[in-house]
Amino acid sequence: MDSPKTSNANSHDNAPGDGVSANGQGGLVIRSAKVIITCPGRNFVTLKIETNQGVYGIGDATLNGRELAVASYLTDHVIPCLIGRDAHRIEDIWQYLYKGAYWRRGPVTMSAIAAVDMALWDIKAKVAGLPLYQLLGGASREAVMVYGHANGTSIEDTVNVALDYKAQGYKAIRLQCGVPGLASTYGVSKDKMFYEPADADLPTENLWNTEAYMRVVPKLFAAAREALGDEVHLLHDVHHRLTPIEAGRLGRDLEPYRPFWMEDAVVAENQDNFRLIRQHTTTPLAVGEIFNTIWDCKELIQNQLIDYIRATVVHAGGITHLRRIAAFADIYNVRTGCHGATDLSPVCMAAALHFDRSIPNFGIQEYMRHTEATDEVFPHGYRFESGFLYSSETPGLGVDIDEEKAAKYPYKRAYLPVNRLQDGTMFNW
């Protein structure tokens, strides 16, 4: 893997119609930018934008299993267009990269735009001397409720881990357990604290059995509600694996245990799927971690087919676009529940917390802790306390990348698994 290329193309001379250069009067000019790829236990892609005034900003560009695609999109196609631009012009640069691509949307494009957006907000807040949430309308809450991931090979194992999360102060816990008869399944990690599904140089093949899965989840929730009491919020991620009517059945089976949400119940390309689920269950529905623009969820939100939108800063075009999605969702009583898995770096988590603190319709934030090595590469000021995350109060995002430490962990190709039914049919992972 070549060392990250820094692009120093010439300044822009394509002055807009009114004769004002793309640099504007701000005088805060993007002088260079580079992509840093590091693998402290898993791959992360980070964009670093430097300005003529010495202020720099960083943005997460990690797309699990397709990291190099985003790295190249940034290095080879985006960075040359950034050099010489006014770093204060966040919206204009967002529109330039979105409309200027011609080939709009998609996870690679929108993760690259997200990284630029995060870095520019970081710069703007640093220049203003304020933590980012202050530029997003200020705090709507002091801290944000998070949910942790309790998982285990059996119901008993999972409930014991959930009890430990409750003891750590978590107010919300996601439950995922093994499925009898299956060697492995989504969400059950070898290492209890850090679930990282991208586990091999080529995709590992999982097998799936819907009937066995649908039998075990209600039993898991019954045992967990019994052990944890009524107050703890319990969540579950179906991970795109049911048909709408199966999801309606599972949602109904879980109603006695009052789940906080049932996530990714079905594949969401056909947003109409959720209409069918809604007809059969009042279990709250969450979706959207793989969405990358508002167009992926417009029907779901405006028809109130979901209760939480999971789109996240790094994959949905950054702070700028995610605020648009949240504002649209707010009109329809849909709250946010940003994705926050280990494959979203501490840079994304830091950005998400400023977003979470500022919006009126915050729901919950996923919080899968990173490894110690990751936290060393990405020193940050956010902290966990009694079930809540507190954002940093330092100017900017409140996170950095230690390039020297990052260089110690070279990129290591890793794929997400693929999933097949037991008859060999390719299925959803």
* Residues in touch with Mg ion (CB under 5 A): 237, 289
Q: Which residues are catalytic?
A: 186, 239
Query: CA dist 343 to 39, 68, 197, 222, 234, Å?
Result: 11, 14, 9, 30, 22
Q: Using the rule CB under 6 A, is 107 a contact of ligand CS2? A: no
Given a contact cutoff of 8 angstroms between Cβ atoms, the answer to whether 234 and 224 are in contact is yes
Q: 172 - beta bridge partners? A: 147, 233
The nearer residue to ligand CS2, 60 or 343, going by C-beta atoms, is 343
Q: Which does 343 bind (CB under 5 to 8 A by kind): Mg ion, ligand CS2, none?
A: ligand CS2
Q: Using the rule CB under 6 A, is 69 a contact of ligand CS2? A: no
Name which of residues 183 to 212 contact ligand CS2 (CB under 6 A).
197
Given a contact cutoff of 8 angstroms between Cβ atoms, the answer to whether 293 and 309 are in contact is no
Q: Using the rule CB under 6 A, is 148 a contact of ligand CS2? A: no
Q: Using the rule CB under 6 A, is 416 a contact of ligand CS2? A: yes
The nearer residue to Mg ion, 289 or 356, going by C-beta atoms, is 289
Name which of residues 354 to 373 contact ligand CS2 (CB under 6 A).
366
Q: Which does 197 bind (CB under 5 to 8 A by kind): ligand CS2, Mg ion, none?
A: ligand CS2
C-alpha R_g of the chain:
21
Which are the contacts of 70, defined by CB distance < 8 A and separation ≥ 6?
45, 61, 62, 63, 108, 111, 112, 115
Alpha carbon 422 to its chain centroid, in Å, reads 30
Alpha carbons 97 and 361: distance in angstroms, whole number? 28
Minimum Å distance from CB 174 to Mg ion?
9
Q: Using the rule CB under 6 A, is 289 a contact of ligand CS2? A: yes
Alpha carbons 405 and 38: distance in angstroms, whole number? 9
Minimum Å distance from CB 75 to Mg ion?
29
Is residue 196 classed as helix, strand or coil in its secondary structure? coil
Given a contact cutoff of 8 angstroms between Cβ atoms, the answer to whether 317 and 305 are in contact is no
Given a contact cutoff of 8 angstroms between Cβ atoms, the answer to whether 90 and 373 are in contact is no
Count of residues that interact with ligand CS2, criterion CB under 6 A: 10
Minimum Å distance from CB 12 to ligand CS2?
36
Residue facing Mg ion at closest CB distance: 237
The helix or strand, by DSSP H or E, that contains position 385, with its residue range, turns out to be: strand 383-385
Q: Using the rule CB under 6 A, is 400 a contact of ligand CS2? A: no
Q: Using the rule CB under 6 A, is 418 a contact of ligand CS2? A: no
Q: Using the rule CB under 6 A, is 67 a contact of ligand CS2? A: no
Minimum Å distance from CB 264 to ligand CS2?
6
Residue ranges that bind ligand CS2, judged by CB under 6 A: 64, 197, 237, 239, 289, 339, 341, 343, 366, 416
